[in-house]
Structure 1
Amino acid sequence: MPIKDFHKQILENLSTAVVLLDSSLTVEYANPAAEMLLQASLRRLSQVSVSEWFSPEQNGIDDLQSCFETGHPYTRREARLVTQAGSALTVDYSINPVFWSTGRQLLIEIEARDRLMRIEREEDLLTQHDTARSLVRGMAHEIKNPLGGIRGAAQLLERELPDLALHDYTRVIIEEADRLRNLVDRLLGPRTLPKLEDVNIHAILERVCQLIEAETKGSVVLERDYDPSIPEFTGDAEQLIQAVLNILRNSMQAMQSAGTAEPTIKIKTRAFRQITLGAEKHRLVCSVEIVDNGPGIPDEILSKIFYPMVSGRAEGTGLGLSIAQSIINQHQGLIECDTRPGETKFQLFIPLEISHESVR
């Protein structure tokens, strides 16, 4: 049955994707929100099977057929759909049978979840990082106070010891106290406000590439894919070099430890518009992707890799990624990680318009 004009006008002004299927599960109608979500026109959608939307393990077609046969509505949360352009989406969808005098049809409402899930994930990541930093600050205060007392006492004791051979023991105490103090300082990460100036992200990346190439003597292939349209932005060049260097060095060391054949790191820059990081929306954001072909990050530490002292390598300190996240956070940005065997991707998001008042 054709949709009446005033009903059609309402559907076409909804932000929720709505699709109507006929008895053969062919798309008869899709509103503009559905065309945008599925990345295809109504004409194109009506020419392909809806089975192409679902991955084989999801039994999406079975859900549609069951709903059509039983007449019972059905809802699935966080399902995976594949658009006509081939990209995957996480969505919630509801299937409702519609009864007409001429027969039965299925009305599908689809709501994209990717953006909301990403916002929730980023808020959790920022909260976890802030909590970890607060714990480290508290621990550092409790450690550095007695360390100062131990060091001072060792210096006084050294002056009173008549036997110079015993000074070796007091020097051990002093040097170990200094080593622990330096470790605590590294745990705290950058403790100064960024020295803000106009910086070019590609100049920063090229500086880091020079350092990595010098360290590896060309044994790691660096592939660049830069977007030259990304403008300069306000930031601390030295801190940003340190953040990117920590990530590339982490990738390089992981590939070397695993003995990766033909180790390669791909660096890609793009500018994204209207991106939400945590709870704040930014008009323009610089994205830097750093992708290696190493062994991947073990699942048991993936959710904790930005915590201090967490490392997948026995000889690792577990401070590089934590410091990198702190630096990017100071620039109101965020680092995300996605990994699987044979590929690990770190993605840095840096707002191109930073509010100086909120830089901390």
Structure 2
Amino acid sequence: MPTETQLRLLLDNLTTAVILLNAELRLEYMNPAAEMLLAVSGQRSHGQFISELFTESPEALQSLRQAVEEAHPFTKREASLTSLTGQTITVDYAVTPILDRRDTLLLLEVHPRDRLLRITKEEAQLSKQETTKLLVRGLAHEIKNPLGGIRGAAQLLSRELPEESLKDYTNVIIEEADRLRNLVDRMLGSNKLPQLSVTNVHEVLERVCSLVEAETQGTIPLVRDYDPSIPDLLIDREQMIQAVLNIVRNAMQAIAAQNELKLGRITLRTRTLRQFTIGHTRHRLVCKVEIIDNGPGIPAELQDTIFYPMVSGRADGTGLGLAITQNIISQHQGLIECESHPGHTVFSLFLPLEQGVH
């Protein structure tokens, strides 16, 4: 039989979050995995009521009380828990009543689902991005070849024309062919590898702010919410300025379209995240940059395709800005996400800090 010390050592080293509640639904024990998940201290929280640790639905609290009274175990899938810090996490949890002398204890095994759901979402997003790249490259090849022929034929024709005034027509053909070629090149994006250098992320954001303030003449308030403790990143400064600027300009244009510039607001926020997964790689530390605006939001029918080339919510938009931004972030082994509803749009950029200087 294992000793009590061995059992405690086993629980302390589990990756599954384990919480033990008494019959009054007050905390008796939580292992380190549970402390990390809920961002609380087990020692300091001992004896606290469960709703002081995290909140869910009133029905969930009633289910826990019923489990104590009837000694009946149950499992709940994809429940949303809100921690004391205000963070909402999606979890599966199993509740097992344990009879201890005359009392009934509740053992909660909590499995976070956010990481798995995020990985699934990211894989789908990366797969779509790769498919789009292949499609655009194939389309670009089919467009650029005949364009070169059309342009060359127009140049030859221009030389043979008897009157100088007729060259206006061939010039139109040449100029339009060049315009289409430039558009295709923008769709393909830059093939240049990032020129990495040690850069402070706030230097990038401040450069973007100065450019936007010059464009808007300060009519749209820019709110800075920075974490000054974030270490420097190894990034391409110019590319990252372009990536962030594309998003901020979109927010600026969306707010301007409402004709309520004074009520508009764009917030740039930076934070660090620990143990964050991007693709198949789990990073010890990640820099999160959020660009938040209170504009009209992205139409629901566009939200799944906004990173595709030529997709735009504006009649005069090219639909290339976000596609270019996603390409830049991907080249930095990062991730971009978007959540939007009327009055609140958030673009989140995740950049691994392992590349930076510690």
Per-residue CA deviation, residues 19-78 of structure 1 (Å, 9 max, x unaligned), is: 23444444444334334433243663533244974433x721243345455655322221
2:157 maps to 157
**Partner in structure 1 of residue 331 of structure 2:** 330
Residue in structure 2 matched with residue 293 of structure 1 by the alignment: 294
- Structure 1 CA distance, aligned partners of 2:64 and 2:228? 47
Match for residue 358 of structure 1? none
Partner of 1:246: 246
Question: Quick one: structure 1 residues 214 and 156, their matched pair in 2 at CA, closer, same or farther if it must change by over 3 Å?
Answer: same
Counterparts of 1:24 and 1:226, CA distance in 2: 42
Q: Alpha-carbon deviation of 1:290?
A: 1.6
Worse-matched range after superposition: 318-327 or 31-40: 31-40
Q: Quick check: 301-310 or 99-108, which moved more? A: 99-108
- 2:256 aligns with 256
- Who is 2:266 aligned against? 265
Q: Which residue identity does 1:290 align to in structure 2? A: I
Tell whether the 8 Å contact from 2:31 to 2:42 is kept in structure 1 after alignment.
no
- In structure 1, C-alpha distance between the alignment counterparts of 2:41 and 2:266, rounded to whole Å: 34
Amino acid at match of 1:326: N
* Cα distance in structure 1, aligned partners of 2:107 and 2:353: 42
Inter-partner Cα distance in structure 2 for 1:44 and 1:6: 23
Aligned ranges 1:92-241 → 2 under 5 Å: 92-99=92-99, 102=102, 104-241=104-241
Q: Contact conserved, 1:332 with 1:354, CA < 8 A, in 2?
A: no
AA of the residue aligned to 1:239: Q
- CA distance 1:352–1:44, shift in 2 (3 Å): closer
- Partner SS state of residue 227, structure 1: coil
Q: Distance in 2 between matches of 1:315 and 1:205?
A: 26
Aligned AA (1:350): L
**SS of match in other structure, 1:93:** strand
Conserved 8 A contact 2:55-2:83: no
TM-score by length of 1: 0.86
TM value normalised by structure 2: 0.86
Do the aligned partners of residues 65 and 222 (structure 1) sit closer, same or farther apart at CA in structure 2, a change above 3 Å counting? same
Q: Which letter maps to 2:322?
A: L
Select between 226-235 and 334-343 the one with higher mean Cα deviation: 226-235
Counterpart in 1 of 2:75? 75
Change (3 A) 1:194 1:53: closer
Q: Which amino acid aligns with 1:254?
A: A
Which runs of 5 or more structure 2 residues have no equivalent in the other structure?
none
Secondary structure of the corresponding residue to residue 124 of structure 1: helix
Q: Distance in 1 between matches of 2:353 and 2:82?
A: 32
Verify the 8 A CA contact 1:268 1:289 in the aligned structure 2.
yes
Distance of 1:107 and 1:29 partners within structure 2: 10
Cα distance between partner residues in 2 of 1:231 and 1:30:
32
Partner of 2:307: 306
Distance change (3 Å), C-alpha of 1:298 and 1:333: same
Is the CA contact 2:154–2:173 (under 8 Å) kept in the aligned structure 1?
yes
| Displacement of 1:327 | 1.2
Q: Supply the RMSD in Å over aligned alpha carbons.
A: 2.8
Q: Following TM superposition, by how much is the alpha carbon of 1:205 offset from its aligned partner in structure 2, in angstroms?
A: 2.0
- Number of equivalences: 352
CA offset at residue 193 of structure 1?
Answer: 1.8
Change (3 A) 1:203 1:61: closer
Q: 1:110 to 1:314 in 2, by over 3 A?
A: same
Q: Is the 8 A contact 2:68 2:105 kept in 1?
A: yes
Gaps of 5+ in 1: 356-360
